[in-house]
Structure 1
Amino acid sequence: MTLREILHVPNVRYFLMFRSSYFARFYYPVFTLLYLDYGLTLSQFAMLNVVWAATIVLAEVPSGAFADTLGRKKLVVLSSIVMFIEIAMIAFVPTGNPTLVFVVFLVNRVLSGLAMALASGADEALAYDTLKEQGQEEVWPRVLQIQLRISSTVGIFVTLIGAAMYDVNFMAHVYQFLGFAAPESTQDIMRIPVYATLFVALIAMYAAFNMREEKKGLPSDSGKLATTIASLKLTLNTGKWVLSTPYVLFILLYYSLFEHTSRMFLTMNSQYYRAIDIPIIYFGFIGAGISLLQIVLAGQSRRLAESMAPKSFILVMGLATMATYFWISLGWSIYGVIPALILIFIIMTMNIFISYHLNKNTESHNRATVLSFKGLMFNLGYGLIGVLYAYYYKLVSERYTEEQIEQHIDFIASLSSFFYYFTFLFVAISILFYVKDRKAPIL
């Protein structure tokens, strides 16, 4: 299929629109700084992310099962609505009461996790099954490549504008041009990226409402209770199938390790950039550079994922990731951006590999449920590393003076934990894989 033909498939077109707008959040370049400016502490920030991951863990697989029984579009639509609500909460919350701010952000994290769980797998399953019905499922890796390029192009504008929105000097010129009093600190402008994200959320809602799916017939005994039981039964059966299918199980284990470790680091990238002495205004340029890198290298990522033998691919990606985390732990000023860019390429390539092989080996009737297990395993890992990192950072920071903490020396010292954590789990999973593979070839 040509690009034009791919975009003429409605579900694929709206899938691309949904994905590119759902994650187009103007506050991502300054994510950690935003939370701190609202009055939250770094430990509260870490725990709120654990709550986010825990919510997804609880909702991920059941939502996938409901997508396979009740209908995938319903969950995608509901996800977009919940997303709009959770962003609106932090856009308009008053900041005078620290307790109220924390409670609102706590609810925000729960709703954000729920929204992610509802959409996870359902939007992808809708698009993939549409191609499969047309006998064109082999073009799915190309759809993922297109999605990467569109999302990355959008990401260039979002990160540049989002970081600029958070730079006091830049916004002072904008305010003066518009005839307003210039802002004095980031607290005066911190809501602007959130307002912009709220607008983009409307685009995600539009895409969700325009996706199409044949109406699902309820079980013969009908009713909500019967449908719920059918959904939970599908969840249980799919869980048993995943655990008894080494090919799928190990793909999910490796995916979770690569994804949740990188996501934890990238969640704190604004703090990392500040620690290696990069001004806020440049955060957007770094984000734009990352998006440009994804656009340029998306094709290479797809070719690597499709052409390399699975065992060799996982080994190469694992060793490259270890080297990258070690480089990050050195905390080099300015040059520390390079390993962050390499990490983005590794994870981008790994995600294409995982999606290609997982969809290829999953039946249509439980595809959304299996993809939800993918999200479940990621978020279990993300919750674990969030708790471990928060505890480790607390221990490390106790060894430094307040002046050193203000210089972020303690934060840089804590980054070595990513290298040790990833290396230990990668070796452990690989040993288990080797033992199982000797008994019967897996990949």
Structure 2
Amino acid sequence: MLRNLRLLFWGRAFLETKALAAVMVLFYQTRGLKMDQIFYLTIVWSLTALVCEVPSGYLSDVIGRKKTMLIGTVLFMVSQVHRMYATDYWEFVFQFILMSAAFSCFSGTEEAMLYESLSAVGREEEMLAQNGKQSAAKQIFKTFTPLMGAFVASDLTEAQYCILLWVDVVTAFVAFGIFIFLTEPPHVKRVLEEEIGIFAESVKTIRENPWMLRISVNKILVFTGAFFTWRVYQPILSEHGVSAIWLGIFYFLSSVFGFLGTWYLGAIEKRFGMASFMTWTTIGSVLMYIIGFVSSIPILLFVAYLVIITTSILREPAFSHLVNQHVDSKSRATTLSNLNMLKSIVDIPLIFLAAIVSTMDLRYPLVIGFVLCLLALIVFPIREQKKLVEAAS
């Protein structure tokens, strides 16, 4: 079962090469999309996730983690091939539907397979550290592929974009080859009548643990604000004279810091505690939003956006760890999917608002991010983990 950890790590790493990421928004604009349409694509993603999250989690609990992840990988491969030929908004809509459905197959399922693989050998107490390492897998290739991509696409031409698109297609096929060798971990399987109760059981788990909703909303608010930053930082920095190569360096640094932070997340928890860590990262983001909105100095904008995006990366495995501690094996993937469905519900009106204000000024979505972080700090604060455990017992 421990081999699963390595396979999950490298499979996820190859799914996350994102060679085009450093100039992604500029690529969309080259293909004729406007800024509000780019935001609307995210609404398409959220709506698809809303439809697919719970069924994919249920599918994972019924047919197994491995098969569900393989289905997701196939959908992702198809989406990457389609993106190469998409030339208008509606073609990108279809690509986003495929890609969102693909990642819904991983949402909750990936964490469930990791936890159960550790549990099978009596090492579930390592979940936070291992989950941090799995999250680091999402950053490992991002430490150089987007930087490489920025050099390749330094002139922002169609031919240069196509080279990067092919890189993402090839690495998606490599990921599929890796996931084939996963071993299904033992988890509770029941007859069909009992399986029908998986969804109800996961809902019951969430209802009986109100802190779970609180930390979920906290995570969603901070992440959504960071996502808005990710959508607008490329054109903003480009308008302030930052070259494509420096955009690649930006992505390189965010990946390096994200990789190191998530890799050592277990040590961070022991030293500072997860509640303090997540609170202070949110406070840091609030300060960076202020700088990112009012400043016109390229280096300050560069640093502010870098901090906002990097801290959102670090918070993901911490959230998963807090939830995994209190969810039963047979409904773990479904419960995590239900919580991710909440994200899609919250995302849709916020993204629509960001799309509207982005047509007025590219920095206005940053104001929304600032407000969301304040709400996370004041209305949905994360308590000490010890108290959460006590509340669940």
How far 1:289 sits from its partner (Å)?
1.7
Hey, what does 1:195 align to over in structure 2? Answer: 166
User: Which of residues 267, 289, 308 is equivalent to 1:325?
Assistant: 289
* 1:313-340 deviation digits (Å, cap 9, x = unpaired): 4433332221122222124322211122
**SS of equivalent to 1:335:** helix
Hey, what does 1:420 align to over in structure 2? Answer: 371
- Rounded to whole Å, the distance in 2 between the matches of 1:142 and 1:107 is 37
How far 1:374 sits from its partner (Å)?
3.2
8 Å CA contact 2:120–2:185 kept in 1: the answer is: no
**SS of equivalent to 2:327:** coil
Closer/same/farther in 2, CA of residues 283 and 352 from structure 1, 3 Å limit:
same
- Rounded to whole Å, the distance in 2 between the matches of 1:442 and 1:343 is 31
How far 1:134 sits from its partner (Å)?
0.4
How far 1:414 sits from its partner (Å)?
4.7
**SS of equivalent to 1:119:** coil
Hey, what does 2:356 align to over in structure 1? Answer: 391
Report matched runs for 1:102-141 at 5 Å.
Answer: 102-141=89-128
How far 1:231 sits from its partner (Å)?
5.2
8 Å CA contact 1:256–1:374 kept in 2: the answer is: no
8 Å CA contact 1:25–1:197 kept in 2: the answer is: yes
**SS of equivalent to 2:299:** coil
**SS of equivalent to 1:90:** helix
- Rounded to whole Å, the distance in 1 between the matches of 2:68 and 2:161 is 31
8 Å CA contact 1:37–1:190 kept in 2: the answer is: no
Closer/same/farther in 2, CA of residues 279 and 238 from structure 1, 3 Å limit:
same
Report matched runs for 1:24-423 at 5 Å.
Answer: 24-93=17-86, 95=87, 101-168=88-155, 186-213=157-184, 220=191, 226=192, 233-298=197-262, 301-331=265-295, 332-394=297-359, 397=360, 410-423=361-374
How far 1:90 sits from its partner (Å)?
1.5
- Rounded to whole Å, the distance in 2 between the matches of 1:71 and 1:138 is 23
* 1:250-278 deviation digits (Å, cap 9, x = unpaired): 22222212222212322333223213321
How far 1:298 sits from its partner (Å)?
3.9
Q: Which amino acid aligns with 1:106?
A: V
**SS of equivalent to 1:411:** coil
- Rounded to whole Å, the distance in 2 between the matches of 1:383 and 1:83 is 22
* 1:129-186 deviation digits (Å, cap 9, x = unpaired): 0111100112222223333444433111211112122212xxxxxxxxxxxxxxxx62
8 Å CA contact 1:330–1:412 kept in 2: the answer is: no
- Rounded to whole Å, the distance in 2 between the matches of 1:287 and 1:251 is 28
Q: Which amino acid aligns with 1:376?
A: M
8 Å CA contact 2:80–2:169 kept in 1: the answer is: yes
How far 1:417 sits from its partner (Å)?
2.8
| Identical residues among aligned pairs (%) | 19
- Rounded to whole Å, the distance in 1 between the matches of 2:364 and 2:357 is 10
Q: Which amino acid aligns with 1:379?
A: S
Q: Which amino acid aligns with 1:287?
A: Y
Q: Please, what TM-score do these two structures have when normalized by structure 1?
A: 0.80
Closer/same/farther in 2, CA of residues 428 and 275 from structure 1, 3 Å limit:
farther
Hey, what does 1:9 align to over in structure 2? Answer: 2
Moved more, 277-286 or 187-196: 187-196
- Rounded to whole Å, the distance in 1 between the matches of 2:278 and 2:135 is 21
- Rounded to whole Å, the distance in 2 between the matches of 1:328 and 1:442 is 39
Closer/same/farther in 2, CA of residues 380 and 344 from structure 1, 3 Å limit:
same
Q: Which amino acid aligns with 1:207?
A: I
- Rounded to whole Å, the distance in 2 between the matches of 1:301 and 1:272 is 31
* 1:65-115 deviation digits (Å, cap 9, x = unpaired): 22112211111000000000011012134x4xxxxx322211111111100
8 Å CA contact 2:205–2:327 kept in 1: the answer is: no
How far 1:442 sits from its partner (Å)?
7.4
Closer/same/farther in 2, CA of residues 344 and 300 from structure 1, 3 Å limit:
farther
* 1:265-314 deviation digits (Å, cap 9, x = unpaired): 22333223213321112111121122222344445543333443455444
Please tell me the root mean square deviation across aligned C-alpha atoms, in Å: 2.7
8 Å CA contact 1:162–1:284 kept in 2: the answer is: yes
- Rounded to whole Å, the distance in 2 between the matches of 1:343 and 1:305 is 20
- Rounded to whole Å, the distance in 1 between the matches of 2:263 and 2:169 is 31
**SS of equivalent to 1:362:** coil
Closer/same/farther in 2, CA of residues 114 and 186 from structure 1, 3 Å limit:
same
Q: Which amino acid aligns with 1:305?
A: E
8 Å CA contact 1:238–1:366 kept in 2: the answer is: yes
Hey, what does 1:400 align to over in structure 2? Answer: none
Q: Please, what TM-score do these two structures have when normalized by structure 2?
A: 0.89
Moved more, 117-126 or 185-194: 185-194
Moved more, 362-371 or 142-151: 142-151
8 Å CA contact 1:306–1:353 kept in 2: the answer is: no
8 Å CA contact 2:49–2:344 kept in 1: the answer is: yes
- Rounded to whole Å, the distance in 2 between the matches of 1:34 and 1:258 is 26
Closer/same/farther in 2, CA of residues 32 and 83 from structure 1, 3 Å limit:
same
8 Å CA contact 1:302–1:353 kept in 2: the answer is: no
